[in-house]
A and B are shown apart, each in its own frame.
Chain A
């Protein structure tokens, strides 16, 4: 899986948009960008994923650059409950093989949402 680079930490005011960047310059053509988050002392939670088009769901939006070398996760109206570590992971989606689903976590971005 391609390596990703994320800022160590970010702050965001409650109610404002949180924009979390991720660089994945070595991404392959068949690799997707996945985002997970981990709230303190809990298991990771899936947020969103995409290949090359921008994606939106009830949790967030994902903007992927045209060259796919970077992406941004957007939480449109951050709340205090969005304080967590956010992980950007690049991997092949739903491929065959017994190792599919093995995720390599980097250090992620610690997002702190403050009042």
Chain B
């Protein structure tokens, strides 16, 4: 089946620094990718929708200047947490929508997630 890979799987950064998380679709093209955040014992919360070649669409309450999203190719989207603070520590998950696939089959695939710890 289709595979979505995230890197790094775990990262620790110092408060005030920036950290980049990559989301790659390994065997398919994805015109749209989605970024979620999940705090411990909570459900996934959608942060933004990333469309290849255009600006990301952010959900209400998500700071676009803090969570920079770039979707420069059909197989790669990146999330950069800028000026990270301890409250940004979370599990970040991406999903990718397979491009050009019709019908009613499943076309959305999730990455393994990335743990961010800000110290």
How many angstroms from the CA of A70 to the CA of B102 in the assembled complex? 26
B106 to chain A, nearest CB (A): 5
* Residue among A87, A94, A98, A105 making CB contact with B49, cutoff 8 Å: A98
How many angstroms from the CA of A107 to the CA of B44 in the assembled complex? 8
* Interface pick from B14-22, B62-70, B72-80, B89-97: B89-97
Of A38, A100, A101, most B-chain CB atoms within 10 Å: A101
Q: Do B109 and A41 touch (CB < 8 A)?
A: no
Number of A residues near B (Cβ < 8 Å) is 26
A41 partner residues in chain B, CB cutoff 8 A: 91, 113, 115
Which partner residue on chain A sits nearest B2 by CB separation? A46
Interface of B is mostly: strand
Q: Do A43 and B43 touch (CB < 8 A)?
A: no
B105 partner residues in chain A, CB cutoff 8 A: 94
Q: How large is the interface on B (under 10, 10 to 19, 20 to 34, 35 or more residues)?
A: 20 to 34
Q: A93-B104, A102-B49 are in contact. Are A46 and B109 (CB under 8 A)?
A: yes
A93 to chain B, nearest CB (A): 5
* Residue among B32, B57, B104, B115 making CB contact with A101, cutoff 8 Å: B32
Given pairs A41-B113, A42-B112, A93-B104, 4 additional interface contacts (CB within 8 A): A36-B110, A94-B103, A100-B32, A103-B108
Q: Write the residues of chain A forming the contact surface with B, with a CB cutoff of 8 angstroms.
A: 32, 34, 36, 38, 41-46, 49, 51, 87, 93-94, 98-108
